[in-house]
Amino acid sequence: MSKLIQHERPLLILPELAAEIGLNEAIILQQIHYWIDKKKHVIEGKSWVYNTYEDWQKQFPFWSVTTISRTLKSLEKQGLILTGNFNIMTFDKTKWYTIQYDAIGQFDRTNEPERPDDAATLDSPIPEKNKQKTSTADSSLSERAKFEQSLGKEKVTEAISIAKAKGITAWAYVRKILCNWENDRQRTKKPVRQEKLPGWFKKQETMDMPDMDFEKDREALRRELAARFEQKVDNMDGTDAV
């Protein structure tokens, strides 16, 4: 018997799931479940696993990097996995993955799948080349409760109705709708900037207004000077007559 058949570690394939989401997707999804079931990286109440496409290929040497990338994106598009970036270094773009078990429930109405015994035969965990931010504290509120707190229960119900109308039952799709609404709400909350008029503008406005008292005083002075001038002229005429 060939050593490859005898010693090569097996991959677990669930026919029912593969028929629903695709063969490649079912294989990778089961592998992601195997690693996050170890709960090595628990963040915001969810267990995550991280890896580059090249490192994934070490576990699936029969696939190209392009095939692995396309399959992971398909899982994300179907709402079966979530991706994130919890790397310490900002330039590190290695993706993190977790499974949306609620979304899988549309194919199998059981609870979260238990780890099959076959998965225990896999070798060492995914290589870890850097230290990640980890937290074992579970979130006090579920994602749905958080959205209900920020947007209101009616909005959450409306988002679920929109998803159901399109035949989508995955929470990831509902979550995307609610996130967009939250972003729109934040943009509308930004205060309108009000420009303040400079101090000299008010002074100029005051200077442009006519001073009625000044006009009266000027007119009185003009009349007084005219009267004095006429009196002086009269006096000069009287002197010339003598």
What's the rounded mean pLDDT across residues 94-103? 91
Determine contact, residues 42/135, Cβ cutoff 8 Å.
yes
Q: Which residues pair with 79 in a beta bridge?
A: none
Residue 205's pLDDT band, with cuts at 50, 70 and 90, is low
Tens-digit pLDDT profile for residues 69-87: 999 999 999 999 999 888 8
Q: Which helix (H) or strand (E) holds 237?
A: helix 212-241
Compute the C-alpha angle 45/36/60, nearest 5°.
150
Per the prediction, the chain carries an average pLDDT of: 75
Q: Is the pLDDT score of 231 beyond 60?
A: yes
Residue 126's pLDDT band, with cuts at 50, 70 and 90, is very low
Beta strands in the chain (DSSP E): 41-43, 46-51, 81-84, 95-99
Residue 13: φ, ψ to 5°: -125, 125
Tens-digit pLDDT profile for residues 149-203: 888 888 888 888 887 777 676 667 777 788 888 888 877 766 656 666 666 655 5
